[in-house]
Chain A
Amino acid sequence: MRFLARRLGFYLLTAWAAITLNFLIPRLMPGDPVELLVARMKGNVDPAAIDAMRRAFGISDASPWRQYLDYLGNLAHGELGRSITFFPTEVSTVIADSLPWTVGLVGVATLISYLIGTSLGVIMAWKRGTWLDGVLPGATFMHAVPYFWVALALVFVFGVTLQWFPVSRAYGLDVMPGLTGEFARSVLYHATLPAITIVLASMADRILGMRNVMVTTLGEDYVVMAEAKGLTSRRVMWAYAARNAILPNITSFALSLGFVVGGSVLTEIVFSYPGIGSMLLKGVENEDFPLMQGIFLVISLAVLVANFLADLAYVVLDPRTRQETE
Chain B
Amino acid sequence: MNVLEIRGLGVDYLSGSGAVHAVSGVSLDLRRGEILGLAGESGSGKSTLANAVARLLRPPASITSGSVVYRRQDGSAVDVLALGGNELRAFRWKELAVVFQSAMNSLNPVITVGAQIDDVLRVHAPRMSRNERTERSVELLQRVGISADRRRSYPHELSGGMRQRAAIAIALALNPEIIIMDEPTTALDVVVQRDILAEIRALREEYGFAVVFITHDLSLLMEISDRIAIMYAGRVVETGTAEALHRAPRHPYTLGLLRSFPRLRGPREELLGIPGVPPDLRSPPPGCAFHPRCAMAVAECSESLPVLRAEADGEVACLLDDGRGVS
Contact = CB atoms under 8 A, between A and B. Distances in A.
A62 interface: no
Contact of A229 (B110, B119, B154): B119
Given A230-B91, A240-B108, A323-B157, A221 B119 contact: no
B165 interface: no
A1 interface: no
Nearest to A233: B89
Contact of B92 (A220, A229, A244, A247): A229
A157 interface: no
B56 interface: yes
A231 interface: yes
A226 B102 CA distance: 14
A224 B110 contact: no
Contacts of B220: none
Interface stretch (B17-25, B36-44, B93-101, B132-140): B93-101
B15 to A, nearest CB: 15
A287 interface: no
Contacts of B119: 229, 231, 235, 239
B193 to A, nearest CB: 19
Main secondary structure of the interface of A (DSSP, over half): helix
B157 A243 contact: no
B318 interface: no
Interface in A96-132: 129
A242 B170 CA distance: 22
A79 interface: no
Given A221-B100, A319-B156, A231 B106 contact: no
A228 B108 contact: no
Contact of B109 (A129, A226, A235, A319): A319
A10 interface: no
A221 B91 contact: no
Contacts of A180: none
B108 A231 contact: no
A221 B106 contact: yes
Interface string B74-97: 000000000000001111111001
Contacts of B154: 319-320
Contact of B93 (A129, A222, A230, A318): A230
B31 interface: no
A232 interface: yes
Given A225-B167, A229-B120, A231-B119, 13 more contacts: A221-B102, A221-B105, A222-B109, A225-B106, A228-B92, A228-B98, A230-B88, A235-B123, A239-B108, A239-B111, A247-B110, A317-B110, A323-B157
27 contacts: A129-B59, A221-B102, A222-B108, A222-B109, A224-B56, A227-B56, A228-B54, A228-B56, A228-B92, A228-B97, A228-B98, A229-B93, A229-B97, A229-B123, A230-B92, A230-B93, A230-B120, A231-B89, A231-B123, A239-B108, A240-B108, A240-B111, A243-B111, A247-B110, A318-B110, A319-B112, A320-B109
- List 4 tightest A-B contacts by C-beta distance, closest first: A230-B92, A221-B105, A221-B106, A319-B154
